[in-house]
């Protein structure tokens, strides 16, 4: 019995040894393969990068020649069409489009459609991979490819934030009727990332949209965005309608509303917000303090009263700055500095 058990142990030990040995050998093979692969790739990577650069340069030159020549319809397009490497051509057109404007960009667009390169955009838009669709949407915007709108509308509330933002910008940029309709369809939170990119697009437009329309949307992110856009573009709106925002349950919206009042020089509503400082959250109080400098004729008595009541140093600092700006008397500065020194 003892012999049997020792035999079993010996056998199992030798099995383990052979497994471990095999694993060690497999790892050795992996290491050698990785090493060789890396070194070979490094070599070819450089070669390929140089080739890409050469090809792109070639197509860039060819396209520029084409754009500068008058008989582009005949000879140059034929030359370009004759090339099999249309992918390089597509990349070059997109690249040039980013670097030219005015008459040249119109010519590039004509050339793009004449060569039938929009099929690459459609191919990307039909992809099942979100990052490829995002790429397609970017290209569609660059080439003002309006047929991309239905594709973009599919993704305006997508789970992928990046794709969502690309789709929203694309709808805004390419849709001719109601380009902001999608704002009322957003159920997901409206990130700062999206706001930055959408505002960037709006800034390019000659005719700005009426952002007051978006205040009716349920999404608080959209309301904040609307207020900022209205403020930056100095779009005044009905006081009765907007005064409701002073009592909005969300501090972020109240804060944004205060900023809007200051930007549009709406002293009446700004004061209405400021007067209820005791009931406000520090975030909103700080915003009121920050914007106090932007308006004229702020009652000094209110600022002093508030300053003496205030506990938060950042708010106190803002109020002190406002007081300094509104009254340059020496006495006030001394009071203010003495009070601030007790804080610091």
Partner 1 sequence: MEYFADIASFWKIAVAIYAGTACLSYLIFALMAGVALQQHERVSETGNLNGVLSSTFAPKVTVIAPAFNESMSIVENIRGLLTLKYNKLEIVIVNDGSKDDTLQKAIREFNLEKVYYPFDYEIDCKPIRGIYKSRNKALEKLIVVDKENGGKADALNAGVNVCRSDLFMAMDVDSLIDREAVLKLIRPFLKETSKKVIAVGAVVRVANSCRIAGGNVSKVHVPRNLWARFQALEYIRAFLIGRMAWKKIDGLLLISGAIGMFDIPTVKKCGGYLKSTVGEDMELLVRMRRYMCEKKRPYIVDFVPDPLCWTEVPESLKTLGRQRNRWMRGTMDTLRLHKRMFLNPKYKAVGTLGYPYWMFFEWLAPIFEFTGIIFFIALAFTGQIQWNYALILLAFVYMFAVTISSWAILLEAFTFHKYDKPSHIGSLLFTALIEPLIYHPLTVWWGIRGNIDYLRGVSSWGAQERKGFSKKKTIK
Among 8, 9, 34, 236, binds partner 1 (CB under 8 A): 34
Rank residues 8 and 68 by Cβ distance to partner 1 and give the closer one: 8
Per the document, the length of the chain is 344
CB of 158 to partner 1, least distance (A): 12
Token readout for 187 is 């159920």
CB of 239 to partner 1, least distance (A): 24
**Residue range at the interface with partner 1 (CB under 8 A); choices 9-17, 79-87, 147-155, 240-248:** 9-17
**CA 321 to CA 102: how far, in whole Å?**
46
Among 300, 314, 324, 326, binds partner 1 (CB under 8 A): 314
Residues 113-142 that bind partner 1 (CB under 8 A): 130-131, 134-135, 138
Please answer whether residues 93 and 117 qualify as being in contact, where contact means their C-beta atoms are separated by less than 8 angstroms.
yes
Find the radius of gyration of the CA atoms of the chain: 32
Among 165, 174, 211, 292, binds partner 1 (CB under 8 A): 165
CB of 232 to partner 1, least distance (A): 6
Q: Is 304 in the site for partner 1 (CB under 8 A)?
A: no
Rank residues 39 and 78 by Cβ distance to partner 1 and give the closer one: 39
Residue whose tokens read 């955009």: 121
Please answer whether residues 130 and 123 qualify as being in contact, where contact means their C-beta atoms are separated by less than 8 angstroms.
no
Contacts 24+ apart (CB under 8 A), 333-341: 335/304, 336/307, 339/307, 339/308, 340/316
Q: Is 250 in the site for partner 1 (CB under 8 A)?
A: no
**CA 61 to CA 85: how far, in whole Å?**
15
**Sign of dihedral through CA atoms 239, 244, 250, 255?**
positive
**CA 21 to CA 31: how far, in whole Å?**
15
Binding site for partner 1 (CB under 8 A): 13, 16-17, 20-21, 23-24, 27-28, 30-31, 34-35, 37-39, 41-43, 45-46, 130-131, 134-135, 138, 161-163, 165-166, 188-193, 195-197, 199-200, 221, 228, 232, 313-314, 316-317, 320, 337, 340-341, 343-344
């Amino acid at each position: 019995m003892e012999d049997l058990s020792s035999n079993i142990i010996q056998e199992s030990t030798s099995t383990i040894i052979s497994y471990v040995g095999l694993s060690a050998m497999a790892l050795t093979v992996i290491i050698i393969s990785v090493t060789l692969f890396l070194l070979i790739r490094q070599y070819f990577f450089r070669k390929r990068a140089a080739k890409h650069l050469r090809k792109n340069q070639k197509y860039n030159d060819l396209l520029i020649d084409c754009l500068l020549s008058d008989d582009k319809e005949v000879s140059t397009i034929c030359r370009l069409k004759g090339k099999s490497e249309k992918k390089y051509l597509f990349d070059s057109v997109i690249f040039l489009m980013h670097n030219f404007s005015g008459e040249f960009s119109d010519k590039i667009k004509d050339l793009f459609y004449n060569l039938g390169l929009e099929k690459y955009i459609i191919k990307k838009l039909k992809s099942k991979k979100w990052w490829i669709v995002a790429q397609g949407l970017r290209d569609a915007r660059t080439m003002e490819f309006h047929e991309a709108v239905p594709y973009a509308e599919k993704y305006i509330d997508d789970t992928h934030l990046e794709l969502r933002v690309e789709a929203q910008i694309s709808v805004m940029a390419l849709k001719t009727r109601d380009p902001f309709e999608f704002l009322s369809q957003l159920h997901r939170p409206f990130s700062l990332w999206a706001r930055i990119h959408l505002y960037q697009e709006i800034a390019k437009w000659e005719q700005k949209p009426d952002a007051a329309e978006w205040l009716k949307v349920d999404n608080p992110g959209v309301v904040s965005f609307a207020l900022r856009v209205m403020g930056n573009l100095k779009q005044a709106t009905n006081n009765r309608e907007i005064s409701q925002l002073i009592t909005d349950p969300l501090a972020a919206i109240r804060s944004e509303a205060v900023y809007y009042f200051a930007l549009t020089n709406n002293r009446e509503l700004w004061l209405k917000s400021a007067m209820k400082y005791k009931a406000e959250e520090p975030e909103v109080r700080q915003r009121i303090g920050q914007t106090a400098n932007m308006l004229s004729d702020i009652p000094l008595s209110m600022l002093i009263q508030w300053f003496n009541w205030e506990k938060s140093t950042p708010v106190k600092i803002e109020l002190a700055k406002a007081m300094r700006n509104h009254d340059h008397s020496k006495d006030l500065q001394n009071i203010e500095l003495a009070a601030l020194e007790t804080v610091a």
